[in-house]
Amino acid sequence: MKILVISDTHGITYEAERIVRKYEKNIVLCVHLGDLVKDAVYLQNKFPNLKFEIVRGNNDFTRDFPSEKIIEVGNKKILITHGHMYSVKSTYDLIVNHAKSFRVDAVFFGHTHQQEEFYSDSILFLNPGSIAFSRDGSRSYAIAEVTSFGVVAYLEKV
C-alpha cells in the first residue's frame, strides 16, 4: 500500500495537484503535513475519491485539523505531525522520544523544508521536504510503502 506524503505547500497548489494526479491511481492515501491546510482541503476537493489525512502546521491558524494524529495503514501505526512542536529544526530527540512512547512504526513530519529519512529503534522517520520552498536545493515529496515487514520510504524530487 503506497502513501503520497507532502508538506509545506505554502499555496503552491498547482505543483501539489500535478503530483497527486501522477500518483492517484497507485496510492491508498495522501498525507499532508501542514503549512498550509487550505492547500490540502483544495486537493481533497479536487480528488474526492482519494483518502486524505491532514494535520496543521505552524502557519495554519485553524483548529479544524489536529496538530498530530496516529493513523493506521495496513497493520502499521504512523504518527503524522508537522514537526514544529518538537523543535525538529534543531534536534530530533523530542520527536524520537515522542514516537517511542506511542510505539509507532513510522513518523511523517515536515517543517524543515528539507527531505530526509532515518531510522531510530526500527522506527522510520520521514520528512518529504517541501513542494514549494526547498531549503536543501530541490523541491520534494515522498512515497511511503506499507508492507507486512514495515514502512519503506522513497524520496522524490519535483
Express each pLDDT in 60-102 by its tens digit: 999 999 999 999 999 999 999 999 999 999 999 999 999 999 9
Q: What is the pLDDT of residue 4?
A: 98
Higher confidence at residue 40 or residue 148? 40
Domain parsing of the chain, residue ranges: 2-157
Q: What is the pLDDT of residue 85?
A: 97
Answer yes or no: is pLDDT of 136 > 90: no
| Cell numbers linked to 2 | 503506497
Specify the fold of 2-157: Purple Acid Phosphatase; chain A, domain 2 (3.60.21)
Structural element, H or E, at residue 153? strand 150-157
At 42 the three-state DSSP class reads helix
